[in-house]
Structure 1
Amino acid sequence: MAHSHARARALAAAVFFTIAASSFSAATAPDSSFRCFDSIVSFGDSLSDTGNDLFPGLHQGPCLAANPPYGRTYFHRPTGRLSDGRLVVDFIAQSIGLPLLKPYFSEAHQKAAQRRRSFSTGVNFAAAGSAVLPYEFYEKIGYQNPWATDGRKYLEKCLVVLGPLGGNDYNHLFLQGMTLDKVQLVAPLVVTRIGSTIQELIKLGAATILVPGSLPDGCMPISLTIHEKSSTPNDYDPQNGCLRWMNQFCRHHNHLLQEELQRIRELHPHVNIMYADYYNATMRMHLSPNQFGFGSQILRSCCGGGGTYNYDPDKRCGTPQAKCCRDPAEYISWDGVHFMEAANGLIAQGLLQGLYTDPPFSTICLINSTAKPRAIAEY
């Protein structure tokens, strides 16, 4: 374990060196909704990973996203994305006229290890399993985070997408039996770490940073399955069937995060810091599935190994034991942990339209420095 963590730190150091040594040149953005960004740099976990998960040595265990039926809807082949198609960051890139974001640890990276690489339209450092807090933190409190990786850094005429982050920190603790009260004590540490990373990015020249909040994890098939035996009817929200207490915790994280973002805005008034409300952008699908084209299977995964929510940790999507749904339009969740392409597209649409970003994309692109952050209501 110590060896794998040292390797993760070495990889993070390599990432920093490459970014610090590289300059980003302008790129044209044909047919785009917003023409104010030349590139995108993304950090985060599996919800934003466009293929780094394929790189050997980043984490333990097999890469299930390298196997069918991953990627079947849009790419018609596995690409390392943990979905049937595009991710939120893919839709954002296409909407601002940029190519799909390439993973840093791509095949091209391996072939061109000895020569300077071009990041003219951006790069993606998001890696499945990434956490905010370091491995040593979990070791100290007597828990484990076997997937702990690290990542950050970058520049100016660029949209920096920092997240989603934090979900893995909390979920590893819940999975190992830590109580809600104790996990809540970890939340300020996670948010503070995200805040310090934002300030590091600002020091390096980042001018626009999009910071997603937590998703409604209580609606995820993995969460519903894990807590199914220990839950009572009162634990479920009658409106949507999601775990009420877990979603309350996710909203608690988001409240702390928004407070931290406002604090940083006041310290750096000339930097555009956008809060991306992934929680409500997703929750609207659970509250009104028919309105958004989803069917009756919104709490089940499309690809899985059976059970009430079609999620079985021993028969995960990408293994021979798992089966894939015939009608993906019925589902919000692809594999119990990650979204269908259709859901990712709706989240991105809500962000780009300004419904779920604070301040909206349009005010950032118009360089409206007088726009004030607004409070975002929770469903």
Structure 2
Amino acid sequence: MMDLSLHKQLFPLLSLLLILFLSGQRMQAEANNSLQNPQLCEPTKKLFVFGDSYADTGNIRKSLSNSWKDPYGITFPGKPAGRFSDGRVLTDYIAKYLGVKTPVPYRFRKQMAQQLKYGMNFAVGGTGVFDTSTPGPNMTTQIQLLEQLIHDGLYTASDLTNSIALVSVAGNDYSHYLATHASPQGLPYFVASVVNQTTRNLMRIKALGVKKIIVGSLQPLGCLPQVTAFSSFQQCNASSNTLVAFHNNLLNQAVTNLNQSWSSSFAVLNLYDSFMSVLNHPTTHNIQNQLRPCCVGVNSKYSCGSVDENNVKMYRVCDDPKSAFFWDLVHPTQAGWHAVYNKLRTMNALQGIQF
């Protein structure tokens, strides 16, 4: 007859062995199920981002930009985080559409290593395809940063084949050109050079193995508050938008030619039409102020986020950022980007970025 005290000692051990056995059976079943259903273990889709302030989520240095100062970020994430808006920007909405988390900014890759599986954002506010007045990496250098990470083994060939690239070219090259050239006569030739360099950049990203590449068309620069301020924010500048149309026509032609060689690997994100649709029908998107910015300096010496030598704020913020399309003189609010995103969806303009 078994001693009762010995029985009491063996019972927990037997229970533990039974639990381990059943756990092993379940893990084996899950492994077999994964082998039979490869979609259960598909790698995470990745988003790689290149460009400027329309896509930057925190790469620009704090010493260079008001985007790290109040009141930027008041809507999301609730404090300044480097985004050129009161909240989310284009990158956040493209990531949302793809079903991934917003990729980590390159400068925070070591602090946010757990999010590298969603891709990486190399965009820096103020930069262009060429060098501009902003001392940040132009797009060629941004692509080199990804090349180095691939060389270092951070991303593999299989990572790249399951990735999408977003390329933002929002006009900093043109701002720099106009600021440094006395005559605008050479502008058409410069537009062609910007599109040609953009095309080379797209080809270089594709050569890394990225599955799909989307490049934003130029938004209506003539409708930005820094331009419409001359009409008291009443109307867009037609001459500026004519330049935009020329850029976008060349870009569309270039992408069409690329797709003939690379079987529809490239797509143009039609930001021009989506911006104009929202600006022409603002109340449809719950926008009340379509051209007047929400955050402005108290006078021409200051801008959104400026403070004086006594750290006294020298800007004004509108009562309801959700009712404004533009946040500052150049960038949309979160509500503005959300309206553009919804318009892109209804235009079926986002279907081309899936794979």
TM-score past 0.5 threshold: yes
- Tell me if the contact between 1:166 and 1:190 (Cα under 8 Å) persists in the aligned partners: no
Correspondent of 1:125 among 94, 116, 122: 122
Q: Distance in 1 between the 2:218 and 2:44 partners?
A: 25
Q: Write the mapping of 1:297-336 to structure 2, written as runs, cut at 5 A.
A: 297-306=289-298, 312=300, 314-319=301-306, 320-336=313-329
- Say whether 1:266 aligns with 2:260: yes
Q: Distance in 2 between the 1:266 and 1:37 partners?
A: 28
Tell me the equivalent position of 1:373: none
What SS is found at the alignment partner of 2:268? strand
Tell me the equivalent position of 1:292: 285
- Tell me if the contact between 2:322 and 2:334 (Cα under 8 Å) persists in the aligned partners: no
What SS is found at the alignment partner of 1:40? strand
Correspondent of 1:105 among 107, 110, 113: 107
Q: Distance in 2 between the 1:177 and 1:322 partners?
A: 31
Q: Deviations over 1:267-296 (max 9, x none)?
A: 212x5211101011101111111121111x
Q: Distance in 2 between the 1:300 and 1:27 partners?
A: 48
TM norm structure 1: 0.71
Q: Deviations over 1:236-263 (max 9, x none)?
A: 9xxx710000011111100000011111
Q: CA deviation at 1:87?
A: 0.6
TM norm structure 2: 0.75
Tell me the equivalent position of 1:372: none
Give the unaligned 5+ runs of structure 2: 1-37, 148-159, 307-312
In the alignment of these two chains, the number of paired residues is 295
Give the unaligned 5+ runs of structure 1: 1-25, 30-34, 136-143, 368-379
Tell me the equivalent position of 2:335: 342
Q: Distance in 1 between the 2:339 and 2:43 partners?
A: 22
- Tell me if the contact between 2:103 and 2:115 (Cα under 8 Å) persists in the aligned partners: no
What SS is found at the alignment partner of 2:273? helix
Q: Distance in 1 between the 2:70 and 2:39 partners?
A: 33
For the structure 1 residues 299 and 72, does the alpha-carbon distance in structure 2 shift closer, same or farther, using more than 3 Å as the test? Answer: same
The structure that has the greater radius of gyration is 2
Q: CA deviation at 1:356?
A: 6.0
Q: Which runs of 4+ in 1 moved over 6 A?
A: 26-29
Q: Deviations over 1:313-334 (max 9, x none)?
A: x311111211111122332110
For the structure 1 residues 322 and 213, does the alpha-carbon distance in structure 2 shift closer, same or farther, using more than 3 Å as the test? Answer: same
For the structure 1 residues 127 and 267, does the alpha-carbon distance in structure 2 shift closer, same or farther, using more than 3 Å as the test? Answer: same
Correspondent of 2:65 among 63, 66, 78: 63
What SS is found at the alignment partner of 1:52? coil
For the structure 1 residues 332 and 179, does the alpha-carbon distance in structure 2 shift closer, same or farther, using more than 3 Å as the test? Answer: farther
Tell me the equivalent position of 1:206: 210
- Tell me if the contact between 1:49 and 1:80 (Cα under 8 Å) persists in the aligned partners: yes
Q: What is the root-mean-square deviation of aligned Cα atoms in Å?
A: 2.9
What SS is found at the alignment partner of 1:120? helix
- Tell me if the contact between 1:27 and 1:39 (Cα under 8 Å) persists in the aligned partners: no
| Identity rate, percent | 25
Q: Distance in 1 between the 2:135 and 2:76 partners?
A: 28
Q: Which amino acid aligns with 2:201?
A: T
Q: Distance in 2 between the 1:42 and 1:300 partners?
A: 29
Q: Deviations over 1:311-357 (max 9, x none)?
A: x3x3111112111111223321101111000111122233344x163
Correspondent of 1:241 among 235, 240, 244: 235
Q: Distance in 1 between the 2:335 and 2:265 partners?
A: 28
Q: Distance in 1 between the 2:66 and 2:353 partners?
A: 38
Tell me the equivalent position of 1:75: 77
Q: Write the mapping of 1:181-192 to structure 2, written as runs, cut at 5 A.
A: 181-192=185-196
What SS is found at the alignment partner of 1:132? coil
What SS is found at the alignment partner of 2:187? helix
Q: Distance in 2 between the 1:267 and 1:215 partners?
A: 27
